[in-house]
Every structure is written in structure tokens, then in C-alpha cells.
Amino acid sequence: MILVIDVGNTNITFGVFKGEKLVTSFRMMSQTSRTSDEFGMEIIAILSANGISKEDFEGVIIASVVPKLMHALVNSIVKYVGKNPYIVGPGIKTGIKIVTENPREIGPDLIVDAVAGYELYGGPVMVIDFGTATTYIVVNEKGEFCTGVVSPGIRISAKALWEDTAKLPEVEIKKPKTILAQETISSMQAGLVYGQIGQTKYIIEEMRKALGYTDMKVVATGGLGRMISDETKEIDVYDSNLTLTGLRLIYEKNRKNKPSLKGYED
């Protein structure tokens, strides 16, 4: 078994793979401060509740966009799981060539999505990740990460509405019955959801035109991805476990190499 960990701005998602099968997954809030001991005890307790022991693991891999959490998290894995984790970043094998202007600026989450999108669905492929931010990346037929777009996620937009306006309330993010809203809550829901649908359609169409990829596959993932993909015929596939699968694929490419913990040692 291997343990894969995706550290996002809102949640930390853990996945346990036995071969290619995702055995279980679970989440923790990434906005909560924890020591390495707190991380370790929580992880071991949840794994134990799922009938999984630390002795079952061959290895661990982490991708993170939240640097401040990494020291505690990495050391919790070393101390409580007993493994030195691979960390997605410079020097790790991915099988994807980044041909953007500054490859080191590409976040680990985007690289992981690119690997999974290309290996599972071929190229050219666009992967849209509906997370804290909504990201659109394209990998061409040669396996090259060639471009990407980043926009505010639905939750960020919603939070801006109710925090930066005096009278708008906090609302559930869901598609209203009709776009013809007649009161405040459904008006906000319509703007958030239909606005994201419209943005998604437009960016896909413009990417296709600019790149000339009429046959480009479009894959969506992320927490609110299913709701948007169900309303967007331009999206071909919704894959809720795409990022976790990408981490597994990168682990398999690096399993013969020794993990480097440079910068994370106590």
C-alpha cells in the first residue's frame, strides 16, 4: 500500500492505494494549525479506524500548495508512519515536460493533475480543477504542460460576496431551480453557479481556438467539479480522484529512488 497526500488551501486529502485501487480516502482542514504529533496521531487514528496499520505502507508521497504546513506534516509522516515521503517538486520524475516560460512557478497540484490527465486520458487534454482556485491546464499530445489559467474558485467568489457587501448573506453554493431568480439567496446562487458555468465554457472554447485542439479531451475534478460538469457539455469526464491518482502515478515513477527531505529535517 502507499499513502498519498494532497495539501490544498482548504483541505488536506489523504488517499490509500493498494496497487491501482483506491482503498480509502479522508480529509482534514488545512487551515487548522497542528504540531507534527497532532498530525501523526490523527492520521494513525483514522487509518486504524479503516483497518489500516502503518506497517502496511510501502511509501508515502505529498504534493502541497501550503508551505507553512509542510514541516509539521512531513515530520509526522516520518515519526508516526515510519516513512520518508516523496515530495512533489523540483527533481522528482513526473513524465511531463513543462514548457511554460518559468517552469518553477508551476504549482505541485497542477503538475499532479497534468500527470493524471495525460496518463489516464491521453493528449491533448485539459484538466479543470474546481478547488479553492479554479485551474485550467493543458497537456499536449507530446506530454508537454504548455499553458494554464487560474481564476477564483466558487467559494472564494461567494466569500467575497458576503464578506465585502453589507447586506448579502452567506448562502449554500448550489444551482438554483432557475436562472430567473426573484429573491436574494437564489440570485446569489444563480450568479455564482451560472457564472462559473459560463466562465468554464468560455475558457474551454477559447483554449481550443487558440491552440487549434479541436479533439482536446476535457477532464474535471475538485469538490464542486461534478455540479459544474453536469451542466457543461464541453466537459467530457468528471474524475473525483484524479489528483490522488496523479500522486500514485508519480510515486510509481520514483519508487526506485531515495526520497529527499532537504529542508524538512528536524
Each residue's pLDDT tens digit, 147-156: 999 999 999 9
Percent of the chain at pLDDT exceeding 70: 98
β-strand partners of 118: none
Task: Quote the crossing angle between the two packed helices 154-164 and 184-211, to the nearest 10°.
Answer: 140
Q: Give the pLDDT confidence score for residue 4 in this predicted structure.
A: 98
Specify the pTM.
0.93
Question: Does residue 263 register a pLDDT over 70?
Answer: no
pLDDT in tens, 183-209: 999 999 999 999 999 999 999 999 999
Give bridge partners of residue 219 from the DSSP assignment.
Answer: 127, 237
Taken in order of first residue, the domains within the chain and their CATH numbers are 2-87 (3.30.420.40), 97-242 (3.30.420.40)
> Which is more confidently placed, 1 or 166?
1
Beta-sheet pairing, 2-7 with 59-64? parallel
Catalytic residue among 6, 109, 113, 239: 109
- Residues 113-171: pLDDT tens digits? 999 999 999 999 999 999 989 999 999 999 999 999 999 999 999 999 999 998 889 99
The Cα–Cα gap between 125 and 122 comes to 7
| Cβ partners under 8 Å of residue 3, min gap 6 | 14, 15, 16, 57, 59, 60, 61, 77, 81, 83
Cβ of 139: how many Cβ atoms within 10 Å?
Answer: 30
pLDDT tier for residue 104 given thresholds of 50, 70 and 90: confident
Catalytic residue at 230?
Answer: no
* Angstrom distance (rounded) from CA 213 to CA 210: 8
Which residues 6+ apart lie within 8 Å of 51 measured at CB?
none
Average pLDDT, the chain: 94
- The residue-averaged pLDDT of 168-182 equals 91
